[in-house]
Amino acid sequence: MPNPPASLQSSPATVVVHAGRPTRTPGGPLNPQLTLSSTFHAGGERVYARMANPTWDGFEALLGELEGGAALGFASGMAAACAALELVPAGARVLVPTRLYNGVSDRLADLAADGRVERVDVPVHDAAALAAAVATHRPALVWLESPTNPTLEVCDLRAAARAAHAVGALVVCDSTFATPLLQRPLALGCDIVVHSATKFLAGHSDVLLGAVVTADPELAARLHRIRTLTGGVPGTTESWLALRGVRTLALRLERAQATALDLAGRLAAHPAVARVRYPGLPGDPGHAVASAQMRGYGAMLSFETVGTGADAQAVCERVRLWVHATSLGGVESTLERRRQSPVESPEVPETLIRLSVGIEDAADLWADLAAALAPLAPG
């Protein structure tokens, strides 16, 4: 599937609209076709649907164009993450953030329990501590999130990649929160980017999909083989829906992150809020690094309430407009207290509430959140 004309490649906001489309021919379709077939006639480039499907091509071409590499779709974000972890040699060390997405954390715990990997936790937002841990433990793979889930810490990706490559380690960055419109980890030195395309890329809370992207042809071939042999292939309909969803990513993200910044400032001034975590705030510990390596600060933020975990949980249950649910990145705004999940890291504060800001009116979102916080305010 060809790239868009060169004149349309200058802006990611244009790429999301034009990349991954069929060749422009008179009478031809504007959009890729939904190919619902598990079997293909012999003699062509496609043999069986576990290896390739033409409907995947459009989504993969678009995401690859945005990230600057070759993209592979997967059945879910976890399938994509597990494929990247399969690259680690048996018994080798994997360096990971102290606080990271609990699904990846749980998978690493299982692998460590089986002796498959040795896990080393490090605060990835501390560049000096990260470099020291890499030099000491000499991992085979450094797993990064930036911003991290759910505490919104920011990792200096260029510095992390430089330290990791000095000991021969691969660098994987989960860039789900940032999306390729705000951050391009491959350009900052990372080897592989992982996305839960379920989230901002697809954007409508109706798709389960993941992706990996790499600019290294050898790594791309290895990841493709892992996908083929483990069967974590993307669904055809899901790939088609994700491609349709990503067409509006620039507009959705522009609106959502403007609202996120507004809400972060309001929350920081609220008497029921103990701390706000959002790299767009000048006082946030990750603000300087985020400003240097990102094109925007994103639509995710977290805050900690005063009081107890039960108090924070009650805030989530009092909202009426916000959707009290897990997951993120949809057009609707969602929130949840992450420690309500028994598998969430104990490193995450009990009162931390994660917000995924959607595209609703900012004043309406704040009114609902302020009303839910009001009973916690002192006085």
Asked if 12 contacts 18 with a C-beta cutoff of 8 angstroms, the reply is no
Catalytic (active site) residue 106? no
> Active site residue: 46, 50, 107, 138, which one?
50
Integer Cα distance of 166 and 164 in angstroms = 5
> Active site residue: 21, 57, 93, 101, which one?
101
> Active site residue: 199, 227, 339, 354, which one?
199
Q: Where are the beta strands (DSSP E) in 271-351?
A: 273-277, 300-305, 323-324, 334-337
Integer Cα distance of 261 and 280 in angstroms = 6
Choose among 18, 12, 68, 59: nearest CA to 253. 12
Structure tokens given for 88: 């680690």
> Active site residue: 93, 99, 156, 174, which one?
174
Find the DSSP H helices in the chain. Answer: 12-18, 54-67, 77-85, 102-113, 127-137, 157-166, 179-182, 217-230, 236-246, 249-268, 287-293, 309-318, 362-373
Catalytic (active site) residue 48? no
Catalytic (active site) residue 174? yes
Secondary structure class of 247 (helix, strand, coil):
coil
Catalytic (active site) residue 50? yes
- Strand order of the β-sheet with 170-174 is 70-74, 210-214, 192-196, 170-174, 141-145, 92-97, 117-122
Burial 247-273 (b: 16+ CB within 10 A, else e): bebbebbebbbebbbbbbebbeebebb
Question: Which sequence positions are flagged as catalytic?
Answer: 50, 101, 174, 199
